């Protein structure tokens, strides 16, 4: 029986020609010393925002601190070199921060920050050169005094300012009996050059992740909300219609939506099965899901393919702890540049829950040509046992390789550099990094789709703001190209118009501006 149990836990074999990227732990020398501190009120949250605020093209890191103050780290890494960061005074050094997301709210071409807190949420206006000023009063943003843990943003039709969605967790004033005490999520819609009063999303069920996503390519994104079933009563995962012409409304059974109860903690999206529609990985405790549409874009009915595709991440794969896993931030990226999406999941026990693994390594599941995933976190060198929360998989030193940073609870953050080679010394594939630009309020084209074509194969990415767990990134969008030395790129812009396909060479950074040809940077 024990042999059978261990066999069920075993990771699927890696394909013979699959390259496992070699990661180097550069935490000690990186200059990053952040710790997400705190007890009960900070058992969730702990995100990182990755974005370029210095103007040099490399992303800075803003890290939640919990009871410690949040920190902004300027990226001083040399191109293709070791990862180096310097803490800078930015004006955003708030305490009780649970997470943050970058967004150009006012359309001035400088990224702002939406800062989530166990306390009043704050929007910070970017002033350039990594300096920020509080903008709640100037923009009419009512940052409620709640425990915020989820965020997403979209631009509704005809608006120059975004609609923000902020998700909240437990009523922290009810610590003696928190179950069933979820506080209200809310939409912040534009009002002039600012925001209207928060519009409650009722019912609310202790959300830990949200994502505006055009699930059926209708042109109008909906809002997916992932909820922690540990604390709500009678709730499920949710998807909301968000249309400026009518009040927000939940998808119903008549529209194909089926109830799902998980310990929802993080959402990641990509087109896994190549049908041109976004699919969703949702982290949980033991029962993470990978959802694809069951019957096409006419019905919001999803089926779970996590087990069939080996993207289950249910239990630790190393370390000898066989209790169920606890997943938090999830993110799809191509870490070995072979043209297939890989999946990183940050893992960590909530606190000291005895029914769940205490030694719970982060997952790095590599996409394989047959559509399945294979665990490679231990081989790649990122199988940390830290009590992980938020994370970012992003190119930090401008070499086209995807590095990894993880925020841990009550211990130091960790950072790994992708060496650009496999564990056996093989070269990784070619790559592209693309940045979108358009006139108007939504300058970074949130809601667009990028398509990259090599022969008859097309990779697609929906440009979103939100998801993950308590943190996100904005800037360059990465595509692995495998052995291809050139590709064609194409953008479907948020208004539904599209540019012609354009050829670009591999291993380069390109600005894609609406109505213009790609420009190499």
pTM as predicted: 0.96
Beta bridge partners of 151: 166
Residue 6: predicted pLDDT = 41
- The 10s digit of each residue's pLDDT in 233-242 is 778 999 999 9
The parts of the chain modelled with pLDDT lower than 50 are 1-10
| Alpha-carbon distance values, 118 to 64, 95, 198, 259, 477 (Å) | 11, 9, 17, 29, 31
User: In this predicted model, what pLDDT tens digit does every residue of 153-173 receive, in sequence order?
Assistant: 999 999 999 999 999 999 988
pLDDT at 12: 64
Please list, in sequence order, all residues whose beta carbon lies within 8 angstroms of the beta carbon of residue 192, skipping any fewer than 6 positions away. Answer: 140
CB under 8 A, 24+ apart: contacts of 303-311: 305/272, 305/273, 306/281, 308/372, 309/272, 309/371, 309/372, 309/373, 310/11, 310/12, 310/365, 310/372, 310/373, 310/374, 310/375, 311/281, 311/343, 311/365, 311/372, 311/373
- CB within 8 Å of 444: residues ≥ 6 apart: 104, 436, 437, 463, 474
249: Cβ–Cβ under 8 A, 6 or more apart, which residues? 240, 241
Task: Give pLDDT, residue 17.
Answer: 82
Which residues have a Cβ under 8 Å from the Cβ of 104 and sit 6 or more positions away?
Answer: 110, 111, 112, 126, 443, 444
What confidence score (pLDDT) does residue 11 get?
57
Instruction: Give the closest residue to 224 by CA, choosing from 235, 233, 215.
Output: 215
Are 99 and 470 in contact by the 8 Å Cβ rule? The answer is yes
């Amino acid at each position: 029986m024990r042999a059978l149990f261990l066999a069920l836990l075993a990771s699927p074999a890696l394909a013979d020609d699959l390259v496992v990227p070699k990661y180097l732990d550069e935490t000690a020398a990186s200059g990053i010393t952040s710790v997400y501190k705190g007890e009960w009120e900070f058992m969730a949250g702990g995100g990182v925002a990755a974005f370029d605020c210095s103007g040099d093209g490399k992303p800075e890191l803003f890290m939640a601190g919990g009871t410690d103050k949040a920190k902004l780290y300027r990226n001083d890494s040399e191109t293709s070199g070791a990862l180096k960061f310097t803490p800078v005074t930015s004006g955003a050094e708030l305490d009780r921060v649970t997470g943050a997301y970058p967004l150009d709210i006012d359309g001035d071409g400088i990224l702002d920050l939406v800062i989530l807190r166990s306390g009043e949420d704050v929007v910070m206006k970017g002033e350039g050169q990594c300096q920020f000023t509080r903008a709640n009063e100037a923009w009419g943003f009512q940052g409620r005094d709640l425990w915020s843990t989820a965020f997403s943003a979209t631009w509704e039709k005809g608006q120059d300012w975004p609609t923000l969605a902020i998700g909240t967790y437990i009523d922290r004033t009810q610590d003696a009996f928190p179950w069933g005490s979820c506080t209200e999520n809310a939409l912040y819609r534009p009002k002039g050059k600012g925001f209207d009063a928060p519009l409650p999303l009722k019912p609310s069920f202790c959300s830990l992740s949200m994502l505006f996503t055009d699930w059926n390519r209708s042109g109008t994104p909906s809002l997916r909300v992932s909820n922690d079933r540990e604390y709500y009563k009678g709730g499920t995962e949710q998807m909301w219609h968000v249309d400026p012409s009518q009040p927000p409304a939940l998808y119903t059974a008549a529209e194909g939506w089926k109830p799902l109860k998980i310990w929802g903690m993080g959402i990641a999206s990509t087109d896994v099965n190549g049908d041109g529609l976004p699919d969703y990985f949702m982290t949980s405790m033991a029962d993470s899901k990978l959802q694809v549409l069951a019957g096409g874009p006419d019905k919001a009915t999803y089926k779970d393919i996590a087990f069939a595709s080996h993207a289950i991440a249910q239990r630790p794969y190393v370390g000898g702890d066989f209790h169920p896993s606890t997943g938090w931030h999830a993110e799809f990226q191509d870490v070995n540049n072979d043209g297939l999406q890989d999946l990183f999941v940050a893992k960590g026990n909530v606190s000291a829950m005895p029914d769940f693994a205490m030694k719970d390594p982060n997952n790095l599941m590599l996409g394989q040509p047959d559509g399945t995933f294979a665990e490679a976190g231990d081989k790649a060198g990122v199988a940390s046992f830290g009590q992980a929360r938020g994370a970012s998989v992003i190119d930090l030193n401008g070499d086209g390789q995807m590095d990894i940073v993880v925020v841990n609870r009550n211990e130091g953050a960790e950072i790994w550099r992708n060496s650009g080679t496999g564990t056996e010394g093989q070269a990784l594939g070619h790559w592209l990094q693309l940045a979108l630009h358009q006139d108007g309020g939504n300058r970074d084209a949130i809601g667009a789709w990028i398509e990259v074509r090599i022969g008859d194969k097309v990779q697609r990415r929906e440009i979103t703001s939100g998801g993950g767990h308590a943190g996100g990134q904005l800037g360059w969008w990465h595509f692995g190209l495998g052995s291809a030395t050139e590709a064609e790129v194409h953008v479907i812009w948020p208004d539904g118009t599209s540019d012609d396909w354009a050829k670009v060479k591999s291993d380069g950074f390109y600005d894609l501006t609406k109505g213009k040809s790609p420009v190499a940077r």
